[in-house]
A and B are shown apart, each in its own frame.
Chain A
Amino acid sequence: MSLRNNRAVLLAAAASVLLVAGLALALFWAPEDADQGFSQRIFYIHVPVALTAYACFAWGAWKALRLLWTREPHYDLESYTAVHMGVIFGVLTLVTGSVWAKISWGVWWTWSERQLTLFLVLFLFYCAYFMLRFSVEQGPRRANLSAVYALFGVALIPVSFLAIRLGERFIHPVVFRRDGPALSGSMLFVFCVCLAAMLALFASLYTNELTGKRLDARLRELREALE
């Protein structure tokens, strides 16, 4: 038990340090972009958040696979928590992406931004995940259904991305294009720090969420035993 606690504290400390360092670097130290100026700095928060969301869904799918493989019930909670965090990071991706679109092109939403469209589809998909979970009684059935659905989710990510790319030919004239940022060395460094920060944040929040949910379950058991 104490080992688990130590890891949680370490993760929280690491996340805090990395997050503060990353944000400070992004806002103050990183060189100003030649074309976009100060507004380019949103890149340091939008892309790490997006990548972390993908990491959440991948982690959730991995735990789901382990559940189906080994049938050990604790994987269900771990998978669910990861997907839950993924949706939160996903919403943040959509918000920061929307702000970036507003800065770059003056519109709050554009379909020509592939990442944004992909995240919208994934957001819909994983919201349905929660609807699924809420409409099934707790138990191995719900765990299995959630796990299978989470696996479909990660399969959907590349397929959807391909679909969006293919769709651009006939759905919308690609009005807005953003060239991939030519990252200088120091920009790349700041980006990596921010990415590490977001991943550490996910790890830390994930650990805490799991502990909290496990406590909930234990207390429920205790209550049933006593009443």
Chain B
Amino acid sequence: MTYFADVAALARKDILLELRSRDTLPAMLLFVLSALVVFHFSLPSDASETASTGLLWIALLFTALLGLARAFAAERDQRVLDGLVLAPCDRSAIWLAKSLGVLAFLGLAEAVALPAYALFFQPVGWELVAAIVLADLGLAAVGTLLAAMAAASRARELLLPLLFLPLVIPVVVGGVGATVVDDPGRYLGFLALYDAIFAILSWASFEYVVAE
């Protein structure tokens, strides 16, 4: 199964690079913590619990954006992307490997963010964790493809949020819904549907995004 071997090799490369340079992950961690603190100051005292849930999801979205902005930065700076594309592996393997990397970083950031959120605001239930796991899959899938698009453009960091935010509105709805509503099943199911649709779409169309 050379496909998965390729994916594993590429993903390992990204994670090793990050472990050595240590620039993206600490930034994401610090960002999400700072955001949570800012939220405390921005919420009036009679704000509901639902409001703070919403803000958590916003913090996660922007933390994901931060990580995604760096996802192809290394390749673009060193002009390695063309080399990767020429490599004898399925282009979509690049997408899968990158997504797994983004997923890993996002998961690590959330492993810090959720305890902090529980500390600062309100306890975290299983629905929130389940929703976050499902949401992460969609965010990583779609975000990786859009990051590749943005990397090909002149505007880069400016373009990625513009492309990203409209597409992830459904994720926010699913995530917040699953957290605040009494029967989260429908919202979790919706998140799974989003993940399936957009993961398949991203996987299938990635080669057109990096091709010349």
Q: Chain A residues in contact with chain B, CB under 8 A? A: 68, 121-122, 124-125, 127-128, 131-132, 135-137, 140-141, 144-145, 147-149, 151-152, 155-156, 159-160, 162-164, 166-167, 169-171
Beta-carbon contact of A169 and B165 below 8 Å: no
Beta-carbon contact of B166 and A132 below 8 Å: no
Q: B170 contacts A159, CB within 8 Å?
A: yes
Q: How far is the CB of B10 from chain A (nearest CB, A)?
A: 21
16 contacts between A and B (CB under 8 A): A127-B162, A128-B163, A131-B155, A131-B162, A135-B154, A135-B158, A141-B152, A144-B211, A151-B201, A152-B205, A155-B198, A156-B166, A162-B193, A166-B190, A169-B177, A170-B50
Q: Within the complex, which residue of A148, A151, A167, A169 is in contact with B149, where a contact is CB–CB below 8 Å?
A: A148
Stretch at the interface among B12-20, B35-43, B180-188: B180-188
Alpha-carbon distance between A122 and B154 when the two chains are bound, in angstroms: 24
Dominant SS at the A interface?
helix
**Which A residues lie within 8 Å of B50 (CB)?**
170
Q: Would you call the interface of chain B mostly helix, strand, loop, or mixed?
A: helix
Q: In the complex, what's the smallest C-beta–C-beta distance from A18 to chain B, in angstroms?
A: 33
Binding site for A on B (CB under 8 A): 50, 142, 145, 149, 152-155, 158-159, 162-163, 165-167, 169-170, 173-174, 176-177, 180-181, 186-187, 190, 193-194, 197-198, 201, 205, 208-209, 211-212
Q: Is the CB of A131 within 8 A of B169?
A: no
Is B208's CB under 8 angstroms from A144's CB? Answer: yes
CA–CA, A171 and B170, complex, Å:
13
Known: A135-B155, A162-B193. 12 other contacts (CB 8 A): A68-B205, A68-B208, A131-B162, A144-B211, A145-B149, A147-B208, A152-B167, A163-B190, A169-B177, A169-B181, A170-B176, A170-B181
Complex A-B, nearest 10 residue pairs according to Cβ-Cβ distance, in ascending order? A163-B170, A135-B155, A125-B166, A135-B153, A163-B173, A167-B173, A124-B166, A128-B162, A148-B205, A144-B208
Chain B residues within 8 Å of A121, by CB? 166, 169
Q: Quick one: given A128-B166, A141-B212, are A170 and B177 in contact (CB under 8 Å)?
A: yes
A131 B159 Cβ-Cβ under 8 A: yes
Min CB distance B178 to A, Å, is: 10
A residues in contact with B174, CB < 8 Å: 163, 166
A96 to chain B, nearest CB (A): 22
| Residues in chain B near residue A124, CB distance under 8 A | 165-166
Contact between chains at A164 and B153 (CB < 8 Å): no
Q: A136-B154, A166-B177 are in contact. Are A144 and B209 (CB under 8 A)?
A: yes
Give the chain B neighbours of A136 by CB distance below 8 A: 152-154
Cα separation A31 to B211 with both chains bound (whole Å): 57
With a CB–CB cut-off of 8 A, which chain A residues contact B193? 159, 162
Asked whether B166 lies within 8 Å of A170 as measured between CB atoms, the reply is no
Closest to B149 in A: A145
Closest to A164 in B: B173
Minimum CB–CB distance for B188 against chain A, Å:
11
